[in-house]
Structure 1
């Protein structure tokens, strides 16, 4: 029998419930607390008795707490008798530091993945990690899920759709989403006005005028790129602008910024702690994750 062990980090419990329904698997909630000095405590409240276990723990804000909990849960599960332990971490923090951009920097995601392996995980399942090749630093089975086709099936959008990537590097995401929606796709290019020095963003090939735009990316952090793109698309005559992302980090005042710049709605996979906003809608990707597991 496969057992899903829901970790403390939200929305891990929500995802674990969704995955367990799809698999018909037993669901156990880890016990946890934080001591007055800030140290974390976790406990598996059942005997795992030679079972295969997947810990469900998104490694998102507060990232350092979530990471420590994930490491402790691996050892706790093995200590409770698990035959093997895999980790379902739909978001993994530090993934954007995937190389030494400046001398003296760490390769942060390499250290995170090696730590997860050392803790006892022999499999990692994640969603749209920043650079899929980063998972080569995990010495075990790894799965990186692309959620865009799945999320497309949950949308109810009409009109003359145009899916846009914020840059050429994200064009593959736009292509996958557009093909699932039966829509056109393109990417945004940046031009610098030689006279004013102003940066102008516009679709490379397909005009936006009169169209319903879906901006697709892996993550919204501060919202600056999406906000600027939306503003310029409206100037070019776009009818409505939506955003669709795997990870809605939405740091600081990102939501207020995006609402101010006219974003109709943000569709986000439920990989990170939920935020409340009238323009934010989460799509449950538990069934997508469940379908990827070798159980």
Structure 2
């Protein structure tokens, strides 16, 4: 049985259609004081339940809604409950940088477990260590095959360079480099200690002059880093710059920054809905629904999720 919250019902509907099932009827109500009420309108006893919920802003509301849905399923005697969170909430709070800080990504995993989840499925976690936070199976899917297939079909790979926007994304960029058999470049940057929240780009390591540069990241939030990286590539002679990222968080000034930067194309997936009223020129949104549907099918049939990632374009 397939269930969805209210954050991104279009994605869940696409998954349901690909699986050939109907979304389970439910009542979801936000009361005047913002508390959430959930009731499923058909029996879920003995079911293999998959609860799909995206986590755009306001993150806490959609996280709480998913937790309440899981609790309702547990109390209604669902046999197995799988949380499907394409974008894992609080993923960037995965370790302590300073004393007296939380590890919120671990707290989220504990909340899902306490609510009654048996399994979690997510796409392109910000860091791999989050897989160890949950006291049960966590299926870590990747959108790289979806994104890489699109890039290989629409761009000439002979003059393509994969670019990491900072040192923290080098491992991701290296995976892209292997998938598309393209050389790798890195943007070296650091935060200016004299200016709060100001990132200074220092140099580009790798050959980018006269080439098509593909900036890759797991998410784009306010777009500051990715836009500075794109401008640095243009300054270093890149012929054109494109961007590929799994999660379009797109907070605050993201749209203005992306529209003001000379991107040839910006490629996202629909793990998160594009914020209402936001228009990003040259944005392409690819559906992650086929990947989620295949993974749900494999879990339901006790098959192999790992086999979904064999045969990436290269």
- On whether the aligned pair clears a TM of 0.5, the verdict is yes
Residues 139-190 of structure 1: CA deviation (Å, up to 9, x unaligned)? 1110111211222113343242111111233223223333333432222224
Tell me how far 1:200 sits from its aligned partner. 4.1
Question: How many residues matched?
Answer: 285
Q: C-alpha distance in 1, partners of 2:219/2:74?
A: 33
Separation (CA, whole Å) in 2 of partners of 1:46 and 1:151: 37
> 2:40 and 2:252 mapped to 1: Cα distance?
34
* 5+ residue gaps, structure 1: 193-197
Retained in 1: the 8 A contact 2:120–2:137? yes
Match for residue 140 of structure 2 among 126, 138, 144 = 144
Determine if the alignment matches structure 1 residue 242 to structure 2 residue 238.
no
CA distance in structure 2 between the partners assigned to 1:154 and 1:47 by the alignment: 41
Partner SS, residue 150 of structure 2: coil
Deviation (angstroms), 1:110: 1.0
What do the CA deviations read for 1:242-295 (whole angstroms, capped 9, x no partner)?
111111111111111122121222111111122432222211111112222311
Provide closer, same or farther for how the CA distance between residues 68 and 200 of structure 1 changes in structure 2, counting only shifts above 3 A. closer
Checking the alignment, whether the CA contact within 8 Å between 2:160 and 2:212 is kept in structure 1 is: yes
**Which residue does the alignment assign to 2:204?**
203
TM-score in terms of structure 1 length: 0.90
**Deviates most, 73-82 or 230-239:** 73-82
Residues 1:287 and 2:290 aligned together: yes
Quickly say closer, same or farther: Cα 1:51–1:149, change in 2 above 3 A.
Answer: same
Structure 2 CA distance, aligned partners of 1:35 and 1:191? 45
Verify: 1:9 aligned to 2:12, yes or no: no
The answer on 1:165 being equivalent to 2:164 is yes
TM-superposed deviation, 1:91: 0.8
- Measure how far apart 1:231 and its partner are: 0.9
* SS of 2:250 mapped into structure 1: coil
Structure 2 counterpart of 1:195 = none
Q: Is the 8 A contact 2:241 2:264 kept in 1?
A: yes
